[in-house]
Structures are given as structure tokens and as C-alpha cells.
Structure 1
Amino acid sequence: MDADTIVAIQGLWTAFGSGKNQVVIHQDLALTVRRGEIVSLVGGSGTGKTVLLRQMLGLEQPAQGQVTVLGQPAAELSRAGAASRVGMLFQQGALFSAFTVLENIAFPLRELQTLPEALVRDAALVKLQMVGLQPTDADKMPADLSGGMVKRVALARALVMDPPLLLLDEPTAGLDPNGADEFVALLRALHQGLGLTVVMVTHDLDTLFALSTRVAVLAEKKVLVTGTPAEVVAFPHPFIEHFFLGERGRRALAPLPALPIAEGALPHGK
């Protein structure tokens, strides 16, 4: 694996249950993510998008196949120190309700038990302001935060150890349109400013088109197609037609330059 390959997945099988009750989610799936990309994972319900993120993070193991992240097996990311190389923003933020904002952000650094408390606090404050919050927000509790602030605190925590790879699970879910636009702008600025590589699961087409350098479509238990948003939209497949070219998709596409659409890819009756 060359130095610019951040994630390499080969021959991946994911299955739940056993015997007659076994359900296969992924079958011989392959995906490569290169340095500096923002790759969006899209697919129908049950295609294992979030499961794939958890496998990249080393939280779940596939039945077969290899998941290599930053040059090492993803299973090794749970070892001391290795987890600092990957940040994860969970869909609902997953903040600790009994911790203040600053304590939530500082938690990964405190878990190391190797840094002075003053340095931990300063690093957490830097990340707090990096995501657009104020020092006066540091002592607030999660219950006192808006949905947008929860997302920002969770993002600051994901970035507090300066990981080169950031995983996002539905980053704009639950935000109103203005809040979603602001969060997308923040993610774009951090991606550029920090040189991050990002893998993102999203159903929000505005977010997808605003951020993605490539899109990977999960269907038929594999990555069906990868490419720029324009290339993926042009790929003839029922899920792509429904997802990108239905009424919701056309609204998201409207502000963009005309994208090629494969012959026969238009919805029925259009």
C-alpha cells in the first residue's frame, strides 16, 4: 500500500447471525480512499454504511477480508496510541451527559494519562474555538446545547488528537437547513486547513454535493461504483436513479452545473 492510500479494503465480507439465520451485508467488497479525499458512502437501508465506518475504526471485525487504515490493520487501532490516528463523529454526537463541553473535548487526551492537565485544557480550548465555539461555552453541559453546538463539540473531540483521518456518520442529520450549511462550511474549512482525509456516510444530497471529492455507492452487497458525483449520477442503476434523480435529488442538483445523465437513467415518466 503506497503512502497516499489511507484506507484499503479488499475482499470484505460482513455477516450477522449464523446458519439459516445468517444475513450477509457485504460480499467481496473493495474500497480505496486516498490522502486528502472526502469520500461519501451512500446506499439504501441495510447496506452496511455505518458498519463499514465501524470496521475502519476497528470497532467491528469483518467475517473475511482485510481493512487497512493508515498502513496497519484496522483491528490494531484499538491499541494504545493508535486510536489517535482516526477521529469519529457519531450521528447523535455521543457526548457524555455528565461532562462539561470542555471535559468532553478533553476526554481522549485525558485517557492517555501522559499529558499535564494544563496542556490538556489548552488543547481542548484550541479545538473548541477551531469549531466555532467560544471559551464561555466550555463549562456548559450537553443538555444546555443546541443540536448544532452538540455537533461542533463532538467534532472538536474527534479532532483533539489531530488525526489525519476523520470518519463522519450523517454529520448534518437533525440540523435545520441554515445549521447544516454552516456545519458543511466548517467541515470544508477544516478539511482544507488541516489536510484531513474524510470518509462520510450521508443521506443529505446538499451535504454530499458540497463536500464530496468522490462518492462510493453501496448496493448489491458491494461498492457498486465509485467516482465523482457527476460520474456516479451518470451510472445507470435503479438505486442511483431513485437517490440522485428523484424529486429530492433534482432539487439538490439544480444549483450545480449540468451533470451528464446516463441514457435510461431518468425516472419513469420524466
Structure 2
Amino acid sequence: MSDPIVDIKKLWTVFPNGEKKAVVHKDLDLTVERGEVLSLVGGSGTGKTVLLRQMLGLEKPTQGEITVLGRPAAELGKQGAASRVGMLFQQGALFSAFTVLENIAFPLRELKTLPRALIYEAAMVKLQMVGLGPDAADKMPSDLSGGMIKRVALARALIMDPPLLLLDEPTAGLDPESSDSFVSLLRSLHRDMELTVVMVTHDLDTLFELSTRIAVLAEHKVIVNDVPKEVVAFPHPFIHEFFLGERGQRAMELLREYPFTV
């Protein structure tokens, strides 16, 4: 087996909390293998999004090691390393003063190494890859629907053709039809671009339709990291409440009827 895309060992994350300290992660271990869609789930305060930001090098853990694509996560952003990881933030995080095409092109423009015409040609290709036509290129973020914002933000995350894509609640705020369409898009891009994906989501339909493995955060660590069927069977109060309630049962039934395999 090849080296993992993400390798986290003995991770501690501690934040100040008045006179005390809040421990979010304690001796957390996690690996993400090439080509999989690994989903992170857990209760409020378990540090799911914090973990994504640490993988991206935006936050530094208190102690422990995070290796991403064979390099320390802290090095991302240096010497063009950030081009190896794409990030889709929960609300899209588009620049309000830029057009759609300018938003998508922004990471390439920041490199200052490519001709302007080539940059915008690449941005237009990514715009079409996420299912938007040329007529969307000159729109402003304020003119976009929630689903379009997600697609533009995804196009920007993929502009460098990164092998690793991080998703923070990718279907949050979308209506069921838009959510289903976006999940289908993510599935096809994962396959066609041979992406490795790490996703934080609380949406059970998205979780079961996309995940090849699920890592559950509880008690400051990853308590189980396995295929969905094995995770659901793992004996833990959070897992029972999260997966085996009414919504979880419906999602599991959908999985049995329309199984997703990579």
C-alpha cells in the first residue's frame, strides 16, 4: 500500500478557556488513503472543522504530527505547496468584489507566473466542470443562488488540480434538489479527477452517498474509522444516536438500495 495522503499522529489541540484550557483533541490518530472519500463526523465541539484547518496548515496543533502528501501540514502555503490541497469552505467564502471568473482564477493569479489569458481560460474550464455556463462568468456573488455559490467555490478549490480536496459541510444550506445535484457533481469529480477527499458533514444522505470510510470523533479522538456498515455497528452512544435514529435509518435504506462504490 502507498503512503497515506494524510497521516496524523498523537495530535493534541488545546485552546485557552478562561483560567482553564479546553482540550479538543487528545492523542488523535488518523490516516487518509489515496483515492478515498473520508468523512469526519462528531458532536459539537469535537473539532471536526479545526482538524480540516490543521490539515490545510491554517491552524497549528498544540502537539503531534500532521503530514499531508508527504510533507508537514505547516509547510502548506510555502513554495506553492498550497496548490496541492483544495478547500471548499462551508459558506463558499467568495470575494464579494470579484466576479465569478475572477474568484475562480484568484489562486492562479496569486502565483504571478502565468499569462492572464491562460489563467482565465483555465478558470473558464473549471467553471464548466462544475456545471455552470459561460453566462455565469461575469456575475457577482450577490447574484448567485446558494447552489451556484457552492459550485463556484468548488471550481476555485480545484483550479490548481489538487490531488486532495477538503470539504466543510458541502451541502449545508441547500434545498434537497440542489443538495442531490451537488453530491452527484462531487461523485463524478472524485472519479474523473482521481481525487482524495476529506469531508466534514452532518447530512446523513450526503454521508452515505459519498463516503468510502467514516471517522467518528468523540472523547477527544477518533473512536472508529471504517466503512459505513462497520461504523454504524460500532457500540457508542453518539453513533447510536447519530446513525440509528429515524433519519439514519432512512439514509441506510437508501444506501442499501443504491450503494455507492468507488
Report if TM-score (shorter chain) is over 0.5.
yes
Of residues 58-67 and 242-251 in structure 1, the stretch that sits farther from structure 2 once superposed is 242-251
For the residue of structure 2 that corresponds to 1:16, the secondary structure is strand
Match of residue 93 from structure 1: 92
For the residue of structure 2 that corresponds to 1:210, the secondary structure is helix
Match of residue 30 from structure 1: 29
State how far apart, in whole Å, the 1-side matches of 2:48 and 2:228 are: 18
State how far apart, in whole Å, the 1-side matches of 2:58 and 2:193 are: 25
Match of residue 53 from structure 1: 52
1:163 aligned partner, one-letter code: P
1:255 counterpart = 2:254: yes
- Give the structure-2-normalised TM-score: 0.96
Shift of 1:19: 7.8
Match of residue 224 from structure 1: 223
Summarize deviations over 1:236-255 as a string: whole Å, max 9, x none: 10000000001121121222
For the residue of structure 2 that corresponds to 1:5, the secondary structure is coil
Match of residue 130 from structure 1: 129
Query: Is the contact between residue 24 and residue 47 of structure 2 (CA under 8 Å) also seen in structure 1?
Result: yes
State how far apart, in whole Å, the 2-side matches of 1:190 and 1:164 are: 11
Match of residue 212 from structure 2: 213
Summarize deviations over 1:66-85 as a string: whole Å, max 9, x none: 00000000000021300000
- Give the structure-1-normalised TM-score: 0.93
| Number of residue equivalences | 257
Shift of 1:58: 0.2
Shift of 1:3: 3.9
Match of residue 109 from structure 2: 110
1:240 aligned partner, one-letter code: I
Query: Is the contact between residue 15 and residue 22 of structure 2 (CA under 8 Å) also seen in structure 1?
Result: yes
State how far apart, in whole Å, the 1-side matches of 2:250 and 2:6 are: 32
Of residues 72-81 and 195-204 in structure 1, the stretch that sits farther from structure 2 once superposed is 72-81
What fraction of aligned residue pairs are identical, expressed as a percent? 75
For the residue of structure 2 that corresponds to 1:51, the secondary structure is helix
Summarize deviations over 1:168-206 as a string: whole Å, max 9, x none: 000000000010000000000000000000000000000
State how far apart, in whole Å, the 1-side matches of 2:82 and 2:49 are: 18
Query: Is the contact between residue 209 and residue 255 of structure 2 (CA under 8 Å) also seen in structure 1?
Result: no
TM-align CA RMSD = 1.2
Match of residue 201 from structure 1: 200
Of residues 99-108 and 75-84 in structure 1, the stretch that sits farther from structure 2 once superposed is 75-84
Summarize deviations over 1:249-270 as a string: whole Å, max 9, x none: 1121222329xxxxxxxxxxxx
For the residue of structure 1 that corresponds to 2:67, the secondary structure is strand
For the residue of structure 1 that corresponds to 2:31, the secondary structure is strand
1:74 counterpart = 2:69: no
| 5+ long unaligned stretches in structure 2 | 258-262
Query: Is the contact between residue 36 and residue 212 of structure 2 (CA under 8 Å) also seen in structure 1?
Result: yes
For the residue of structure 2 that corresponds to 1:65, the secondary structure is strand
State how far apart, in whole Å, the 2-side matches of 1:250 and 1:11 are: 34
Could you list the runs of 4 or more consecutive aligned residues of structure 1 that deviate by over 6 angstroms after TM superposition?
none
Match of residue 146 from structure 2: 147
